[in-house]
């Protein structure tokens, strides 16, 4: 693992629940020696990727991300293209809808909206990473994304979140093969108890999944008929988004979707 990879890997430890991390905590989290961690943190701070709380000296994400996020959206305007589709799905289904893109350790939310107007709702942390192995978004991405992504994920270890979470590589491989043949991913309380979801990919110009759109519901509302209806809705949305992005749905996927 290169020095750059190790340094940038420190950024993955930040989350909504852990917005600041001190030097000692970083050392414990990474198992690197304190001197090495300090050098990485100093380099990231000097480039604006981190700054320090003047009172606690703990590190937090820096202003460079604001500028880079703006550059990304100007040059690759995914959010502005995805948001209207996600919002419309949320309003039509009255459920939580989110679009996500792959990162090294999971799926990162691009945009989401809860279209519910009452009743039991699904909680969602838009700043968190969705694990590949335990979410419909992650499984759909592994099934239709770049083969290298699947290879990297399948060789790692898997965290168990609920009684329904599978942490066996063979089970994950079988699930992915099923998703490739069925055209969609469906998760039944893999990540959170009492939450089910379905997800489909949207594709780039080479027919490789660029990201996913998922609809999550309380388990009590995810009947077979409801799942079928949500999948049909996602087929139309992901086909339209793929076209808007200048991508192409692979022929075999189009054939599967046409017969759902």
Indicate whether 71 belongs to any domain: no
Indicate whether 149 belongs to any domain: yes
* Mean pLDDT within 138-161: 94
Q: How far are the Cα atoms of 100, 146, 244, 247, 255 from residue 207, in angstroms, in the given order?
A: 17, 10, 14, 7, 14
pLDDT tens-digit readout, 67-81: 888 887 787 778 899
Helix (H) or strand (E) holding 227: helix 224-244
pLDDT tens-digit readout, 25-69: 999 999 999 999 999 999 999 999 999 999 999 999 999 988 888
Asked if residue 90 and residue 27 are part of one domain, the reply reads: no
Instruction: Please give the tally of structural domains in the chain.
Output: 2
Pick the more confident residue, 15 or 109. 109
Asked if residue 91 and residue 36 are part of one domain, the reply reads: no
């Amino acid at each position: 693992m290169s020095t750059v990879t190790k340094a940038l890997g420190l950024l993955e430890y930040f989350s909504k629940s852990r917005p600041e991390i001190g030097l000692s905590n970083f050392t414990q989290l990474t198992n690197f020696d304190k001197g090495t961690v300090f050098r990485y943190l100093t380099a990231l701070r000097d480039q604006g990727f981190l700054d320090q709380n003047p009172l606690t000296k703990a590190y937090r994400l820096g202003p460079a991300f604001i500028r880079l996020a703006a550059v990304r959206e100007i040059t690759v305007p995914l959010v502005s293209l995805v948001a209207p589709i996600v919002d419309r799905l949320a309003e039509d289904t009255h459920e939580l809808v989110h679009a996500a893109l792959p990162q090294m350790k999971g799926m990162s939310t691009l945009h989401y909206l809860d279209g519910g107007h009452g009743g039991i709702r699904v909680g969602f942390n838009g700043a968190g990473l969705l694990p590949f192995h335990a979410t419909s978004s992650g499984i759909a991405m592994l099934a239709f994304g770049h083969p290298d992504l699947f290879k990297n994920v399948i060789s790692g270890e898997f965290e168990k979140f609920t009684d329904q979470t599978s942490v066996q590589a063979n089970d994950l491989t079988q699930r992915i093969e099923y998703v490739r043949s069925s055209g969609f991913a469906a998760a039944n309380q893999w990540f959170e108890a009492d939450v089910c979801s379905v997800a489909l990919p949207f594709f780039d110009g080479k027919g490789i999944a660029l990201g996913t759109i998922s609809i999550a519901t309380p388990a009590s509302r995810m009947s077979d008929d409801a799942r079928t209806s949500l999948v049909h809705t996602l087929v139309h949305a992901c086909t339209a988004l793929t076209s808007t992005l200048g991508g192409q749905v692979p022929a075999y996927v189009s054939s599967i979707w046409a017969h759902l």
